[in-house]
Amino acid sequence: MYFRSKEAVKLFIFICLGFALFPAAAFSAENPPLAPPLTKGGEGGVTGGQIKEYAIPTPSSNPVDIAVDASDNIWFTEQNSNKLGKFIPSTQTFEEFDIPYKGSPVGIAVDSNSIVWLALSADNSIISFSPAEKKFKRYKIPTADAAPYGITMGSDDVVWFTERDGNKIGGLNAKDGSIKEYRIPTAGSQLSGIAQDKEGIVWFIESGGNKLGSLEPKSGKIVEYVIPMPFSNPSDMAIDKDGNIWFVELNGNKLAMFSPKLRKFNEAIMPHLATVPSGIAIDKDGRIWFTENRGNRIAVFDPIQSTFTEHDIPTYRSLPLGIAIDSRGIVWFTETDRDANKIGRIEPAVFANAGQTKAGGANLPAAAGKKFSSFLQMVEIITMIVIIIILFAGFVIWYMLRKRERKQG
């Protein structure tokens, strides 16, 4: 009798505690979400956001990353087929170029001269491709088995890239082909996304270290910032016109922003569960576009209106990954699933005020954030009070039952 009563009380306390802790976990006030509202495409949010898809000639090519050149031609890496792909929107035709080195092209970037740069992971090299000459050129990375991953064009003709296994940031001087490397303080950081801001600071993501890092190229100084969400598995990143760092959290299922001026993180919870946000890009109006790899959507976050909008991709389970935006504002993305094997596009979207849901009823993200933060703090305080009451009540019930059992015994 005593054993059953004791176990029942334990079960009761466990269940009540679970219900009490759930809102505390979902609405953490320490790092409040940027905005929870969602507006679906065609319901007052983004209009004219229809998706078009184009099948890649090589079957099961596994298109991964994507970039746009000065003429708005689309370039992408084909990881399985070890090719560089090109799509010409004006003629809606593809061109594919066999990479003459052993495979696994990952990151891609295009410089101001339309030279295409690739991170060739399995070959441990950075390679360039001249569209005019249709020739590749190879630059071996000094560190063995570095596994280059993310890549971006920086200032002064420097190509910056991450070494996922080498645990270093690399800088390739496009003029003389020399490479300089910078070791990351955190061991096994598993570097991924990389970008350079207007001040020349190189920012990078540590997927394994769960950190955001910055590198000052001249001094070689590296600073690391721990991301609030534990084990968030951050991935791709982009920098807006105000210098804010935006990145996606694959495991955290969040869109995050870091302000270098305030040295502060802020995070927005995705409208749906387990979407696995992956690639990220920012348009000329400051809207944040990203791929939902498992959600099979292309989504956009408007920092001014504090709203999410999502677009369902027509192809089932397409596994979208890379994303880029051309000069006309058209959003391009890759569909990596072997059966999908496409690149897609969304036409320039027009945001309408009607039907949009705003966070806290305010236009300014700062004001909305403060109001929402205050609300979450109140929720957290109430939740903690409820937890204390439940625990106290459970203890009293357990104590009384045990006392009664002792009398009966």
Percent of the chain with pLDDT over 90: 70
Of 17-26, 272-281, 326-335, 351-360, the least confident: 351-360
What average pLDDT does range 216-244 have in this prediction?
97
Mean pLDDT taken over the chain? 84
Tell me the pLDDT band of 409, cut-offs 50, 70 and 90: low
Answer yes or no: is pLDDT of 247 > 70. yes
Separation CA 56–CA 77 (nearest Å): 11
Instruction: Report d(CA 169, CA 160) in Å as an integer.
Output: 7
Residue 403: predicted pLDDT: 73
In this model, does residue 179 exceed pLDDT 80? yes
CA distance 177 to 140: 9
Question: Considering only 15-24, 34-43, 335-344, which range has the smallest mean pLDDT?
Answer: 34-43
Would the pLDDT of 169 be above 60? yes
pLDDT at 198: 95
How many whole angstroms separate alpha carbon 156 and alpha carbon 320? 32
CA 341/CA 334 separation, integer angstroms:
8
Per-residue pLDDT, averaged over 232-257, amounts to 97
pLDDT digits (tens, 9 = 90+) for 116-130: 999 999 999 999 999
More confident residue, 360 or 225: 225
390 — pLDDT class (breaks 50, 70, 90): confident
Q: In what order do the strands lie in the sheet with 264-269?
A: 234-239, 245-249, 254-259, 264-269
* Of the listed ranges 30-39, 370-379, 392-401, the one predicted with least confidence: 30-39
More confident residue, 38 or 141: 141
Residue 23 CB-density burial (10 A; 0-12 exposed, 13-18 middle, 19+ buried)? middle
284 or 2, which is more confident: 284
Report which listed range, 100-104, 205-209, 353-357, is most confident. Answer: 205-209
pLDDT higher than threshold 70 for residue 352: no
Furthest C-alpha separation in the chain: 94
Structural domain spans, the chain: 2-29+374-408, 46-360
Instruction: Note the pLDDT tens digit of each residue in 46-86.
Output: 333 589 999 999 999 999 999 999 999 999 999 999 999 99
Predicted TM-score (pTM) of this structure? 0.77
Is residue 221 scored above 80 in pLDDT?
yes
pLDDT at 350 exceeding the cut of 90: no
Assess whether pLDDT exceeds 60 at residue 103.
Answer: yes
CA gap 161, 174 in Å, rounded:
13
- Say whether pLDDT at 378 is over 80: no
pLDDT at 371: 40
pLDDT in tens, 317-333: 999 999 999 999 999 99
What pLDDT does 402 receive?
73
Average pLDDT over residues 273-284: 96
The per-residue pLDDT for 22 is 40
Query: What pLDDT is recorded for position 362?
Result: 30
What's the gap between Cα 340 and its chain centre?
22
Give the C-alpha distances (Å, rounded to integers) separating 151 from 121, 134, 161, 322.
11, 21, 4, 13
As separate numbers, helices (DSSP H) first and strands (DSSP E) second, the chain gives 2, 31
The class that CATH gives domain 46-360 is: mainly beta
